[in-house]
């Protein structure tokens, strides 16, 4: 099957679909890096950078930086326009990271769960839309999806569900992440 082969009327052309995938994924990985940078900054400010949570967050941040570098490269190679919203995602991501880390280690981990669950679903949807003509991109997305699941599982194992107002916190973060995905795909 080729990308876009089963598209419905009104769905984007295959080329546009692939550009949207690359654009939104680069923006998402950029946002994830900024969230972790915000969390690490807050952990440093509060003297918790070398805590168990600090070490785990630093490790997850390294993975997200690798993901971002890959999508930066793909964006340039394929000459895809990045989202115009990157400055907003930079501020919003950093702010979200700071806020959740200041709420405590478990809230920082709850943030990871919310973002990674959203991205996990998003990557699965994208992989299903890409055909054999985009096998390399699909493989990258599936590998990164597995990494995001591992981050989510690590956050859950670190007590994310014990964060204050876990359900409300993760619901708000998921809604914001879904809005960011929708906007970055288009703008």
User: DSSP for 74-93?
Assistant: HHHHTTPPPPTTHHHHHHHH
The pTM of this model reads: 0.90
Spatial distance between the Cα atoms of 161 and 156, rounded to a whole number of angstroms: 7
Confidence of residue 180 (pLDDT cuts 50, 70, 90): very high
The answer, yes or no, to whether residue 11 has pLDDT greater than 90, is: no
Query: What local confidence, expressed as pLDDT, does residue 144 receive?
Result: 94
Domain 14-186 -> CATH class: mainly alpha
Query: What local confidence, expressed as pLDDT, does residue 3 receive?
Result: 74
pLDDT in tens, 44-71: 999 998 999 999 999 999 999 999 999 9
Average pLDDT over residues 4-24: 80
Spatial distance between the Cα atoms of 6 and 179, rounded to a whole number of angstroms: 25
Angle at 178 between CA 177 and CA 184, to 5 degrees: 85
The answer, yes or no, to whether residue 32 has pLDDT greater than 80, is: yes
The answer, yes or no, to whether residue 14 has pLDDT greater than 90, is: no
The answer, yes or no, to whether residue 9 has pLDDT greater than 80, is: no
Average pLDDT over residues 165-184: 94
The answer to whether residues 7 and 128 touch, using CB atoms and an 8 Å cutoff, is no
């Amino acid at each position: 099957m080729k990308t876009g082969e089963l598209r419905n009327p009104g769905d984007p052309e295959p080329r546009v679909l692939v550009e949207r995938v690359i654009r939104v994924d680069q923006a998402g990985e950029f946002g994830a890096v900024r969230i972790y940078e915000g969390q690490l900054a807050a952990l440093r400010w509060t003297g918790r950078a070398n805590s168990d949570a600090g070490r785990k967050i630093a490790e997850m941040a390294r993975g997200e930086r690798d993901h971002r570098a890959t999508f930066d490269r793909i964006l340039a190679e394929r000459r895809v326009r990045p989202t115009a919203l990157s400055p907003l995602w930079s501020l919003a991501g950093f702010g979200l990271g700071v806020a959740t880390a200041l709420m405590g280690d478990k809230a920082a981990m709850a943030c990871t769960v919310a973002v990674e669950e959203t991205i996990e679903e998003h990557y699965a949807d994208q992989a299903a839309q890409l055909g054999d003509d985009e096998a390399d991109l699909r493989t990258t997305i599936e590998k990164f999806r597995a990494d995001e699941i591992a981050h989510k599982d690590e956050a859950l194992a670190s007590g994310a569900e014990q964060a204050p107002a876990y359900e409300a916190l993760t619901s708000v973060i998921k809604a914001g992440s879904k809005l960011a995905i929708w906007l970055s795909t288009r703008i």
